[in-house]
């Protein structure tokens, strides 16, 4: 990315109507997903991913990142008005924001929140532009051994830092790497793990994997919970624009706090495995410690709103630095962004910074403009946006499920894709119910391809001399430090996690790894190296989990935990929905599924069920038939 790329991309969004429309649509979606408790940026990414096939990369980037950039801004709305955090990152905002609302200062709290989010996001984007050349220069000085170690470092960081059990996270990473080797090996032409099915020669489709592992389990969980908000007047209806402006001016009065917490967010964003909630709480703690009167916090101090909201938005600029320049997602959400960029045909890492400098610059400008325009958007639609907190998410879940499934299968017609999606969805629900992390699996699937290419290059070109390179030694040290620190500090947490009754699942995974090793052994050397390493590592890790899962006496004050029940009835209706799509088409099958879900699961009246079904049908027709020109009626066989 050159300076010319940065300047030429600055006004591109406002000149191109398609990019401007994508930004408005993405910001609208991000605000709504942030304002509705239970939904998140991850859910928004999952919903957008099926729509990105065949989309222009620039439009896809603007749509995706404008949504992702303003989710935390929308999340402050229910946090301040009702004390219900839109997500974990907004929990710190509740302490003082909700207290301000109860004292009649909701407008000031909302104004401070929106302005702080805008300033933090803009400063994070500026840091992205300033620091990216340094990250890019680092990427140019390293070779195949370092790329291999960077892939392992990113995978290990997310696997060990994003979950209470590092062993489970590492095992899921190994499973993801193994899943990424399914299909034709391009180095030797060997079909791996296809078991005679021609459909597997192209590998597992990443969109089916993402939808089944993440979207379906999360939506199933939302669909079976009554999350209705309390009825009542909209709390911000009595807020004048003067109150909102007073909160915006407070951000300027506390400008040095805003600047410091922005840098805290950028720093946290660059660290693998940490998220917006860490940035928000660290910033809140800094605001408390740096205040002359600490007793004001928790009692309605506007600084308690400014600090976390600034940090959780500036974090995004820092998070994109290792993701774009080095191809190492810093969080599970960034791993989903990498998957979305892969759908657009954009490989993250040095290749992207070298060959797509204009798009790399567009990422920074999208983050910057989205955060600034979010304030204008918020002021324009404040009453309408705030009412989204009253929506019953269990009624929204069928709409989101049907849109996600239609987008996933519309380019993958046939029984094989449906069976694969059903199997992956079932696996995703089981992993979620037994508290196995799924983000390392996806990251391993993505990073495994990079790791295999550089593993072969390292073996053929460097051999043991790779250990004589000082960048490799530094990365090996960082990798060992992450593993040692995580396994040492979370030993007790890992043991508690193993008491959740998932012993059979662990044994099944161990057997799967062993079978994979046995199957891969006859492959040529280049084709079997990574499967044997991943399968062997997975077998060892799950074996350790099995050994450590022997009953341990629980601490005296600890309540026993049990896994959530698997939603078999919801899964049965979901399987019937998938089976109906090839027979009658996506639109009729989706409408029928939505109506059946409302009547059976939610005990809705026939009139309400028909209304939801009509909304689903219209949404699918507009998104796919009208916009993407895809067939949504008739048999797909």
Q: For residue range 278-326, list pLDDT tens digits in order.
A: 677 778 878 877 778 777 777 778 888 888 888 888 888 888 888 887 7
Is residue 556's pLDDT more than 60? no
Q: What is the pLDDT of residue 635?
A: 55
Q: What is the pLDDT of residue 363?
A: 86
Among 101-115, 327-341, 365-379, 425-439, whose mean pLDDT is lowest? 327-341
Q: What is the pLDDT of residue 532?
A: 93
Question: What is the average pLDDT value for the chain, to the nearest integer?
Answer: 77
Q: What is the pLDDT of residue 518?
A: 93
Among 191-195, 392-396, 437-441, whose mean pLDDT is lowest? 392-396
Q: What is the pLDDT of residue 282?
A: 75
Q: How confident is the model at residue 614 (pLDDT cuts 50, 70, 90)?
A: very high
Q: Is residue 75 part of a domain?
A: yes
Provide, rounded to the nearest whole percent, the portion of the chain with pLDDT above 90. 5
The torsion of the CA quartet 143, 148, 150, 155, rounded to 10 degrees, works out to 170
Q: Is the dihedral of CA 362, 367, 370, 371 positive or negative?
A: negative
Is residue 228's pLDDT more than 50? no
Tokens of 511: 């057997």
Q: What is the pLDDT of residue 622?
A: 80
Is residue 207's pLDDT more than 70? yes
Tokens of 328: 């190492």
Residue with the bigger pLDDT between 596 and 557: it is 596
Phi, psi of 321 (to 5 degrees): -65, -60
Q: What is the mean pLDDT of residues 570-595?
A: 88
Q: Is residue 625 part of a domain?
A: no
Q: What is the pLDDT of residue 276?
A: 66
User: Distance (Å, rounded) from C-alpha 611 to C-alpha 224?
Assistant: 20
Q: How confident is the model at residue 496 (pLDDT cuts 50, 70, 90)?
A: very low
Q: What is the pLDDT of residue 140?
A: 65
Is residue 512's pLDDT more than 90? yes
- Residue 280 domain boundaries: 3-138+233-390
Q: How confident is the model at residue 516 (pLDDT cuts 50, 70, 90)?
A: very high
Task: Name the most confidently modeled range: 257-261, 356-360, 470-474.
Answer: 257-261
Q: What is the mean pLDDT of residues 255-262?
A: 88
The total of structural domains in the chain comes to: 1
Is residue 360's pLDDT more than 60? yes
Q: What is the pLDDT of residue 514?
A: 95
Q: Is residue 630 part of a domain?
A: no
Is residue 515's pLDDT more than 90? yes
DSSP three-state, residue 323 = helix
User: Distance (Å, rounded) from C-alpha 211 to C-alpha 50?
Assistant: 9
Task: Name the most confidently modeled range: 189-193, 203-207, 508-512.
Answer: 508-512
Q: Is residue 633 part of a domain?
A: no
Among 34-48, 126-140, 377-391, whose mean pLDDT is lowest? 377-391
72: nearest Cα among 33, 99, 115, 23:
33
Q: What is the pLDDT of residue 637?
A: 43
Is residue 511's pLDDT more than 90? yes
Provide, rounded to the nearest whole percent, the portion of the chain with pLDDT above 70. 78
Q: Is residue 344 part of a domain?
A: yes
Is residue 231's pLDDT more than 60? no
Q: What is the pLDDT of residue 40?
A: 63
Q: What is the mean pLDDT of residues 250-255?
A: 86
Is residue 266's pLDDT more than 50? yes
Is residue 235's pLDDT more than 50? no
Task: Name the most confidently modeled range: 30-44, 400-414, 578-592.
Answer: 578-592
Q: What is the pLDDT of residue 593?
A: 92
Q: How confident is the model at residue 91 (pLDDT cuts 50, 70, 90)?
A: low
The torsion of the CA quartet 569, 575, 579, 585, rounded to 10 degrees, works out to 90
Is residue 494's pLDDT more than 50? no
Q: What is the pLDDT of residue 539?
A: 93
DSSP three-state, residue 44 = helix
Q: Is residue 499 part of a domain?
A: no
Residue with the bigger pLDDT between 216 and 127: it is 127
Q: What is the pLDDT of residue 296?
A: 79
Cβ atoms of 139 and 353 within 8 Å: the answer is yes
User: Distance (Å, rounded) from C-alpha 530 to C-alpha 576?
Assistant: 37
User: Distance (Å, rounded) from C-alpha 27 to C-alpha 377?
Assistant: 8
Q: Is residue 524 part of a domain?
A: no
Q: Is residue 588 part of a domain?
A: no
Cβ atoms of 88 and 121 within 8 Å: the answer is no
User: Distance (Å, rounded) from C-alpha 528 to C-alpha 417?
Assistant: 27
Cβ atoms of 106 and 301 within 8 Å: the answer is no
Is residue 261's pLDDT more than 60? yes
User: Distance (Å, rounded) from C-alpha 454 to C-alpha 459?
Assistant: 8
Neighbour count for residue 450 (Cβ, 10 Å): 20
Residue with the bigger pLDDT between 152 and 314: it is 314
Question: How far is the CA of 637 from the CAs of 308, 419, 592, in angstroms?
Answer: 52, 14, 19
């Amino acid at each position: 990315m050159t300076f010319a790329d940065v300047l030429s991309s600055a006004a591109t969004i406002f000149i191109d109507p398609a990019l401007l429309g994508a930004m408005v649509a993405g910001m609208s979606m991000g605000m709504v997903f942030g304002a509705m408790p239970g939904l998140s940026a991850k859910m928004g990414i999952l919903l957008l991913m099926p729509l990105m096939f065949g989309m222009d990369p620039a439009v896809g980037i603007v749509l995706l990142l404008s949504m992702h950039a303003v989710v935390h801004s929308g999340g402050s709305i229910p946090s301040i008005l009702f004390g219900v955090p839109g997500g974990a990152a907004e929990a710190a905002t509740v302490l003082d924001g909700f207290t301000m609302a109860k004292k009649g200062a909701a407008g000031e709290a909302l104004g401070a929140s929106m302005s702080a989010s805008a300033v933090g996001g803009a400063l994070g984007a500026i840091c992205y532009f300033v620091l990216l050349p340094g990250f890019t220069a680092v990427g140019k000085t390293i070779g195949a051994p370092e790329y291999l170690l960077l892939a392992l470092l990113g995978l290990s960081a997310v696997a060990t830092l994003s979950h209470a059990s590092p062993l489970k996270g590492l095992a899921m990473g190994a499973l993801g790497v193994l899943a990424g080797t399914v299909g034709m090996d391009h180095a030797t032409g060997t079909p791996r793990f296809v078991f005679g099915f021609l459909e597997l020669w192209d590998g597992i489709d990443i969109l089916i994997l993402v939808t089944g592992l993440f979207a379906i389990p999360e939506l199933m969980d939302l669909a079976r919970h009554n999350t209705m908000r309390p009825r009542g007047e909209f709390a911000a209806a009595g807020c004048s624009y003067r109150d909102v402006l007073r909160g915006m001016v407070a951000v300027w009065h506390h400008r040095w706090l805003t600047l410091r917490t922005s840098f805290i967010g950028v720093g946290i964003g660059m660290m693998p495995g940490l998220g917006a909630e860490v940035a928000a709480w660290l910033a809140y703690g800094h605001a408390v410690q740096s205040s002359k009167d600490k007793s004001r916090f928790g009692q309605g101090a506007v600084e308690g709103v400014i600090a976390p909201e600034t940090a959780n938005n500036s974090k995004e600029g820092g998070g994109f630095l290792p993701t774009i320049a080095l191809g190492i997602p810093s969080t599970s959400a960034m791993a989903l962004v990498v998957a979305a960029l892969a759908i657009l045909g954009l490989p993250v890492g040095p290749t992207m910074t070298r060959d797509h400098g204009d798009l790399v610059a567009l990422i920074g400008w999208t983050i910057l403009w989205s955060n600034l325009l979010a304030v204008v958007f918020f002021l324009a639609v404040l009453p309408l946006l705030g009412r989204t907190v009253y929506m019953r998410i269990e009624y929204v879940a069928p709409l989101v499920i049907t849109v996600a499934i239609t987008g996933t299968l519309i380019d993958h017609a046939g029984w094989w894709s449906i069976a694969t999606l059903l199997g992956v969805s079932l696996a995703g629900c089981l992993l979620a119910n037994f508290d196995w992390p799924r983000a390392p699996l996806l990251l391993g699937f993505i990073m495994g391809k990079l790791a295999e290419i550089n593993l072969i290059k390292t073996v053929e070109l460097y051999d043991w001399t790779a250990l004589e390179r000082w960048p490799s030694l530094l990365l090996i040290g960082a990798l060992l430090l992450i593993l040692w620190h995580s396994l040492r500090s979370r030993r007790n947490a890992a043991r508690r996690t193993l008491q959740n009754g998932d012993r059979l699942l662990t044994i099944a995974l161990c057997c799967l790894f062993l079978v994979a090793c046995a199957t891969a052994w006859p492959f040529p050397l280049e084709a079997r190296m990574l499967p044997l390493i991943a399968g062997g590592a997975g077998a060892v890790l799950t074996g350790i989990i099995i050994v450590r899962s022997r009953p341990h006496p629980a601490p005296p004050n600890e309540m026993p935990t049990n896994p959530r029940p698997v939603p078999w009835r919801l899964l049965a209706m979901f399987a019937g929905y998938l089976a109906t799509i090839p027979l009658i088409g996506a639109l009729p099958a989706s409408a029928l599924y939505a109506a059946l879900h409302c009547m059976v699961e939610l005990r809705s009246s026939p009139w309400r069920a028909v209304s939801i079904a009509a909304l689903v049908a219209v949404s699918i027709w507009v998104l796919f038939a009208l916009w993407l020109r895809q067939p949504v009626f008739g048999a797909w066989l």
